[in-house]
Amino acid sequence: MMQNYIQNAREEMLLRNYSPKTIKAYLGAISDYLSKYPDGAGRLDIGHVRQFLLGKQAKGLAPQTVNLCLNALKFYYGDVLKTSGRIDLKFAKRSKKLPIVLSRQEIALIVDAIINPKHRLMVALAYGAGLRVSEVTALRVRDLQYEENIIHIKGAKGNKDRLTLLPDKVKADLKALLAGKPGEAFVFESERGGRLTSKTLQLIFIRACRRAGITKSATFHSLRHSFATHLLENGVDIRYVQSLLGHQNIRTTQLYTQVTKHNLSKIPSPYSDF
């Protein structure tokens, strides 16, 4: 019986064209909740929902993860079961940690530390275009518009399309790598053919950081953080940066203004007055 409810939730998300990543995350949260509270499969109990979320917080899960669980249950009861009751619970407070940003020199060291040309190109393009790891693995030959210096990102986070920069510096290497490949082929295929996994790219990046002697706790996503920060440091209008990143809310992009160095470097420390 419970599997029927899970299947209904899956089908509702498919009808609404939710991304595979969102479907997987929501179904995981719903299944987890129903395994703890089987009676909740057909009826809403706010007390159980509260205890479920408190349990997630007690385990030290990130606020974003707790919010995802809350959204998943709101979707299940509101859009799948269509219950009349509301889950009137406040969202967990989001972490205010600043993103890990790599300097231009550190980016160069990381890229130079990668021996495999294809792997080096993946990291360089991720930084130069501000791509998420999933966008790098999903990139197809037809998405590259060489004449316009544009990459057409399709079905990105939130199932949205956007345009971003195709760095002139990597165009020659991309053309050499992709010569003769059809438009529907992945730009970066695995050794066996087909799409690379995000885990593979993460490992490539981590190993390159170690070889380059980078001590920051950077991840592949730090390349995207660095792209945004460096554009702002170069004086690019924040609205353009928002568009290139595909942020729906300008406040998300404004976070990078806190880690730009071009303003901080002009402020003298009071210690210099001694």
Q: What is the mean pLDDT of residues 226-230?
A: 93
| 153, 131 Cβ separation under 8 angstroms | yes
* Residue 134 belongs to some domain of the structure: yes
Among the options 26, 76, 77, 256, which is catalytic?
Answer: 256
pLDDT at residue 89, as a whole number: 83
pLDDT at residue 191, as a whole number: 83
What would the pLDDT profile of 139-197 be if each residue is shown by its tens digit? 999 999 999 999 999 877 767 889 999 999 999 999 999 999 999 999 999 888 788 99
pLDDT at residue 193, as a whole number: 79
160: left (phi over 0), alpha (psi -120 to 50) or beta: beta
240 catalytic residue (yes or no)? no
* Residue 236 belongs to some domain of the structure: yes
Q: Are residue 202 and residue 170 in the same domain, yes or no?
A: yes
239 catalytic residue (yes or no)? no
Of 80, 95, 112, the position where a domain reaches its end is 80
Angle at 161 between CA 158 and CA 165, to 5 degrees: 120
pLDDT at residue 132, as a whole number: 94
* Residue 274 belongs to some domain of the structure: no
Among the options 120, 132, 225, 230, which is catalytic?
Answer: 132
pLDDT at residue 159, as a whole number: 72
* Residue 176 belongs to some domain of the structure: yes
Q: Which structural domain range is residue 134 located in?
A: 104-264
pLDDT at residue 95, as a whole number: 63
* Residue 87 belongs to some domain of the structure: no
18 pLDDT above the threshold of 90: no
What would the pLDDT profile of 2-12 be if each residue is shown by its tens digit? 788 899 999 99
224 catalytic residue (yes or no)? yes
pLDDT interval class at 266 (50, 70, 90): low
Q: Are residue 75 and residue 200 in the same domain, yes or no?
A: no
pLDDT interval class at 259 (50, 70, 90): confident
Which structure tokens are listed for 94? 């989001």
101 pLDDT above the threshold of 90: yes
Q: Are residue 42 and residue 134 in the same domain, yes or no?
A: no
> 43 vs 113, which has greater pLDDT?
113
CATH code of 14's domain: 1.10.150.130
Q: Are residue 70 and residue 134 in the same domain, yes or no?
A: no
Q: Are residue 108 and residue 76 in the same domain, yes or no?
A: no
251 catalytic residue (yes or no)? no
Q: Are residue 17 and residue 137 in the same domain, yes or no?
A: no
50 catalytic residue (yes or no)? no
What would the pLDDT profile of 60-87 be if each residue is shown by its tens digit? 888 889 999 999 999 999 999 998 888 8
pLDDT at residue 138, as a whole number: 92
Looking at residue 214, its amino acid is I
Among the options 118, 154, 157, 181, which is catalytic?
Answer: 157
Q: Are residue 124 and residue 64 in the same domain, yes or no?
A: no
Q: Are residue 60 and residue 150 in the same domain, yes or no?
A: no
256: Cβ contacts below 8 Å, ≥ 6 apart: 99, 101, 225, 228, 229, 232, 241
Q: Are residue 252 and residue 134 in the same domain, yes or no?
A: yes
116 pLDDT above the threshold of 90: yes
Percentage above 70 pLDDT, the chain: 92
Of 47, 80, 113, the position where a domain reaches its end is 80
228 pLDDT above the threshold of 80: yes
Q: Are residue 240 and residue 166 in the same domain, yes or no?
A: yes
Number of domains present in the structure of the chain: 2
Percentage above 90 pLDDT, the chain: 65
274 pLDDT above the threshold of 70: no
pLDDT at residue 150, as a whole number: 93
Burial call 192-226: b when 16+ CB within 10 Å, e when fewer = eeeebeeebbeebbeebbeebebeeebebbbbbbb
Q: What is the mean pLDDT of residues 249-253?
A: 86
* Average pLDDT of the chain, as a whole number: 89
CATH code of 260's domain: 1.10.443.10
* Residue 39 belongs to some domain of the structure: yes
Expressed in angstroms, the distance from the first to the final Cα of the chain is 74
pLDDT interval class at 54 (50, 70, 90): very high
Q: Are residue 115 and residue 250 in the same domain, yes or no?
A: yes
pLDDT at residue 224, as a whole number: 95
* Residue 209 belongs to some domain of the structure: yes
272 pLDDT above the threshold of 60: no
Q: Are residue 76 and residue 108 in the same domain, yes or no?
A: no
pLDDT interval class at 25 (50, 70, 90): very high
